Amino acid sequence: MTESVHIDLGDRSYDVVIGPDVLATPEVWAGLPKAAVAVIVTNTTVAPLYAERLHARLAPLYKTVQVLALPDGESYKDLATLETIFDHLLTQGCDRKTVLFALGGGVIGDMTGFAAACYMRGVPFVQVPTTLLSQVDSSVGGKTAVNHPRGKNMIGAFYQPQRVLCDLGTLRTLPPREIAAGLAEVIKYGPIADAAFFEWLETHIDALVALEPAALAHAVRRSCEIKAAVVGADERESGLRAILNFGHTFGHAIEAGLGFGVWLHGEAVGAGMVMAADLSERLGLMPVGFKARLSALLLRAGLPVVGPALGGVEDYLHHMRVDKKAEGGEIRFVLIEAMGRATVRSAPDAVVADTLRACCAPAA
């Protein structure tokens, strides 16, 4: 019942394993890195649901299995919480072969991966994502980071996991808002890389919202296939990989401007994709109607399509100028030039301002 997507990165290659009950499938846990100690890093929401099951799966493989439960939420994706992981590893005498298991969503995956990259200059880690967003995006590709008050994911490293194990059954414990947030990252793959997948999503979005197993399995697999191809061609985002950030330049501004955790990442990306679609139309890259078509799909997924006012246009521009994709203070946007094909480019501030005024709530 499981499927695998291979991430081809030479000696850093690994598989993304997808299935309805991966936590209870013994064969997918074979061949993990050998060590005396495994540490499950999770949060206070996920731990009561799945930590015991993962502990039982790992107990035959490791002499000692520890569980570290961090506070839950994007607001804890910071250096202080990262230090909590290091404190645990050092207090417990963990060595450079200790294996970290990231059990949770994107916040846990990013922080655990960054901790693994840094602790003793690098220890192995395994992703066990339990949210839709982390299964289709953040757990795959080796981006690890924490937030800084001045910007999202500004402190981090590229560091690949040993394996990604996606148990689709864990998605059934997610609230609808988290499902919608994950669907934003699924939807982005259509405009940037696969027009046929976008059409499939338009037909099957209601099934995905309802967590229909066959639809979920296809959406997660296809999302991972697209990301695998992009990451395999451009691991460190020197070019092609940047297209995976469709909607993220605007979305990161929303998250930083509101305060991390007020909007979920996928919600901010949803509104950000509408802004990017609007900008694509204004620059003549896409015909009028693309923004409306994308907005209709996002609305059916339960996502916002209007950005918050923040402090107005200048506030948005300020946050976007410190985005990682900015070059020399020039904002870079992922825009769509044909359904299934993206480009990364700048745009005049006056045109971006028109997009912000058209796509955001009016300032109070």
Q: Is position 357 annotated as part of the catalytic site?
A: no
Q: Is 265 annotated as a binding residue?
A: yes
Among residues 265, 282, 319, 324, which one is catalytic? 265
Among residues 188, 222, 252, 291, which one is catalytic? 252
Among residues 188, 218, 222, 227, which one is catalytic? 227
Q: Is 163 annotated as a binding residue?
A: no
The whole-angstrom separation of Cα 85 and Cα 225 is: 31
Q: Is position 55 annotated as part of the catalytic site?
A: no
Q: Is 76 annotated as a binding residue?
A: yes
**Phi, psi of 272, rounded to the nearest 5 degrees:** -65, -35
**Phi, psi of 329, rounded to the nearest 5 degrees:** 80, -5
Among residues 57, 222, 248, 332, which one is catalytic? 248
Residue with tokens 């100028």: 321
Q: Is position 147 annotated as part of the catalytic site?
A: no
Q: Is 295 annotated as a binding residue?
A: no
**Per-position DSSP letters for 4-65, written without gaps between them:** EEEE--GGG-EEEEEETTGGG-GGGGTTPPP-SEEEEEEETTTIIIIIHHHHHHHTTT-SEE
Q: Is 77 annotated as a binding residue?
A: yes
Among residues 57, 163, 188, 241, which one is catalytic? 241
Q: Which H/E stretch holds residue 272?
A: helix 265-282
Q: Is 248 annotated as a binding residue?
A: yes
Q: Which of 174, 172, 183 is nearest to 21 (CA)?
A: 172
Q: Is 173 annotated as a binding residue?
A: yes
Q: Is position 324 annotated as part of the catalytic site?
A: no
Q: Is position 248 annotated as part of the catalytic site?
A: yes
Q: Is 45 annotated as a binding residue?
A: no
The whole-angstrom separation of Cα 148 and Cα 300 is: 33
Among residues 143, 163, 319, 324, which one is catalytic? 143
Q: Is 97 annotated as a binding residue?
A: no
State the burial class of residue 13 (Cβ atoms within 10 Å of its Cβ: 0-12, 13-18, 19+).
exposed
Among residues 43, 178, 222, 237, which one is catalytic? 237
Among residues 43, 57, 245, 325, which one is catalytic? 245
Q: Is position 265 annotated as part of the catalytic site?
A: yes
Residue with tokens 């699924």: 186
Which residues are catalytic, by number? Answer: 121, 143, 185, 227, 237, 241, 245, 248, 252, 265
Annotated binding site for Zn(2+): 185, 248, 265
> Which residues contribute to the annotated binding site?
72-77, 106-110, 130-131, 143, 152, 170-173, 185, 248, 265
Annotated binding residues for NAD(+), written as ranges, equal 72-77, 106-110, 130-131, 143, 152, 170-173
